[in-house]
Amino acid sequence: MHRIGFVVFDGFQSMSFAALSVFESANMMLEQPFYEMHFISEHGGLVRSSTGMVVDSKPFGRIPFDTVIVGGGVSILESAPSGVLSFITKASKKSRRLASICTGTFVLGEAGVLDGKRATTHWAQARGFQARFPGVRMEEDRIFLIDGNIWTSAGMTAGIDLALAMAEKDLGEAIARSIAQQLVVYHRRAGGQSQHSALLELSPKSDRIQKTLAYAKENLHTTLSVEQLAEVANLSPRQFSRTFRVETGQSPAKAVENLRLEAAKLLMEQTRHSVDEIAQETGFLDRRRMREAFLRGFGQPPQTIRRNARVQA
């Protein structure tokens, strides 16, 4: 039995609970209670979230936990209760895994358990975190990070990716993939993936353009000409180009290049595929064209990005 303690405090954000759905789904899939989940707090009893929802919690110290997870909340950005900090310090030494979701990283930082370690948090709070905890290697453009027994994740939904990674480690990739399908989420965003998605930055308004971008992302290995994309949108090439620019602020060609760059960078960082293989897979056709796109987009060639990723790892 893997016992999970989910730390709550006055003003915690209930969106953090989304991560617990991963463990609940694992139990249902296995048809046995592999994970046992508890809400825990400094004094136990009822604890109120930022939305007014109340949960019943057990006090710290009663039972040991395999995994301890601290959720996010605005209320702990400045300072967490002393009892919470003391518990986190002990958990970092006794629990197999200690994790934070979103701004829960601030609790870990204040408890001193992140000193000398790599961590991430919500991108909007990353600079403030780094200024407050200079001894922590903040990597603000990551979905989640693992350093030793410490796991940290970005914004609230990134907690699902973190929990899926835990389930994968405990139960294997096949089970984790099935859990993701059950939850209707992507299995699974890699920890090193950027918090900033090219698709999110484009923010298309209409279903037609959204559908076209989704098609482009799934078919990066093809040419993706304006004519091809316009056919997916059921528009003439001229109408499509005009509508696309109005909705996204970019030309179709520029948007496709950004999608190719995002995919190629991820493959450079997380696989051993050759530069030529990645160029083919992401539609750049050859290493020269991909190198030129990397220099435009990142100011560095692909090999430098791969080398930096390996050094960080």
- List, for residues 242-273, the tens digit of each pLDDT value: 999 998 888 999 999 989 998 899 889 888 89
| Greater pLDDT, 270 or 20 | 20
CA distance 57 to 310: 42
In this prediction, residue 174 carries a pLDDT of 87
Q: Is the pLDDT of residue 191 over 50?
A: no
Q: pTM of the prediction?
A: 0.65
CATH superfamily for 2-183 is Class I glutamine amidotransferase (GATase) domain (3.40.50.880)
Residue 210 has a pLDDT of 86
pLDDT tops 60 at residue 164: yes
Are the C-beta atoms of residues 98 and 150 closer than 8 Å to each other? yes
- pLDDT value of residue 142: 80
Tokens coding 47: 């604890």
Residue 308: pLDDT band by 50, 70, 90 thresholds?
confident
- pLDDT above 90: residue 307: no
- Average pLDDT of the segment spanning 195-214: 73
pLDDT at 202: 67
Other Cβ atoms less than 10 A from the Cβ of 288: the count is 10
Query: 3-state SS of the chain?
Result: CEEEEEECCCCECHHHHHHHHHHHHHHHHHCCCCEEEEEEECCCEEEEECCCCEEEEEECCCCCCCEEEECCCHHHCCCCCHHHHHHHHHHHHHCCEEEECHHHHHHHHHHCCCCCCEECCCHHHHHHHHHHCCCCEECCCCCEEEECCEEEECCCCHHHHHHHHHHHHHHCHHHHHHHHHHHCCCCCCCCCCCCCCHHHHHCCCCHHHHHHHHHHHHCCCCCCCHHHHHHHHCCCHHHHHHHHHHHHCCCHHHHHHHHHHHHHHHHHHHCCCCHHHHHHHCCCCCHHHHHHHHHHHHCCCHHHHHHHHHHHC
The single residue listed with the structure tokens 């990397």 is 294
Mean pLDDT of 45-73: 92
Give the pLDDT confidence of 141-155 residue by residue, as tens digits: 788 889 999 999 988
Beta pairing, strands 2-7 & 150-153? unpaired
Look at residue 227 in the predicted model and tell me its pLDDT: 95
The residues, ordered by sequence, that sit 6+ positions from 104 with a Cβ below 8 Å of its Cβ are 7, 16, 69, 70, 71, 72, 73, 76
CATH assignment of 198-312, given 1.10.287.70, 3.40.50.2000, 1.10.10.60, 3.40.640.10?
A: 1.10.10.60
pLDDT tops 90 at residue 75? no
Closest C-alpha among 246, 244, 206, 203 to residue 226: 244
Check pLDDT > 70 for residue 178: yes
**Average pLDDT score, the chain:** 89
Give the integer Cα–Cα distance in Å for 113 and 92.
Answer: 7
What is the rounded CA–CA span in Å between residue 191 and residue 71? 18
pLDDT at 197: 56
At 228 the pLDDT is 94
Can you give the residue ranges of every domain in the chain?
2-183, 198-312
Summarised one tens digit per residue, pLDDT across range 96-146 is 999 999 999 999 999 999 999 999 998 888 889 999 999 999 987 788 889
φ and ψ of 97, to 5 deg: -135, 140
At 83, the pLDDT band (50, 70, 90 cuts) reads very high
Residue 187 has pLDDT above 80, yes or no: no
Per-residue pLDDT for 195 more than 80?
A: no
Q: 49 with 12: CB under 8 angstroms?
A: yes
